[in-house]
Amino acid sequence: MKILFLHGFGSDPNGVRPTFLKESGYEVIHPALADEDFEASVRIAQEAFDRGEPDVVVGSSRGGAVAMNIETGDVPLILIAPAWRKWGTARKVKPGSRILHSDRDDVVPIENSRELVRESGLSDDCLVVAGESHRMVDEAAFEALVEMIERLGRQ
């Protein structure tokens, strides 16, 4: 399965999560997004999506906001603590999207994800609460992410 992974602000596109996904057997496209230029990040992500034809798009924090602002057709979105209130213009996600967020996140409040679920008309089970912090690099967060990828990738 091929994943487009969109990293967060100040994060390494070759960081812990894309490395974990590769080691878990996924093909991972992970472009370097422009930290200081959101619109450039959206263009980079859209080009990577169009060229790579992923099965799933995973966006983390600011990368989640980038994911919300690209055209992905029927490819499912998994957003990890999406920072949509700070970046971009999208205020809803498409049906079938999933959100993974820690209730101990001290960077992006989990209430932002709850609001996104409500505003998008998603069912409450589209938000999975897991993880120990905003970074979402603990075992529980990784397990929840893989479960989401496997479930959405089979649809």
DSSP-assigned beta bridge partners for residue 6: 59
Q: What is the pLDDT of residues 106-155, one digit of tens each?
A: 999 999 999 999 999 999 999 999 999 888 888 899 999 999 999 887 65
138 to 21, 28, 135: CA distances (angstroms): 13, 19, 8
Alpha helices in 53-138 (DSSP H): 62-68, 110-120
Q: Is the pLDDT of residue 13 over 80?
A: no
pLDDT computed for residue 54 by the predictor:
96
Are 145 and 114 contacting, i.e. CB atoms less than 8 angstroms apart?
A: no
Confidence of residue 17 (pLDDT cuts 50, 70, 90): confident
Residue 41 scores a pLDDT above 80: yes
The predicted pLDDT at position 50 comes to: 98
- Could you give the domains of the chain? 2-153 (3.40.50.1820)
* φ and ψ of 9, to 5 deg: -60, 130
Q: Rounded CA gap, 19 and 23, in Å?
A: 6
Q: What's the pLDDT tens digit per position in 53-87? A: 999 999 999 999 999 999 999 999 999 999 999 99
pLDDT of residue 46: 98
What is the reported pLDDT for 155? 58
**For residues 32 and 42, what is the distance between their CA atoms, to the nearest angstrom?**
11
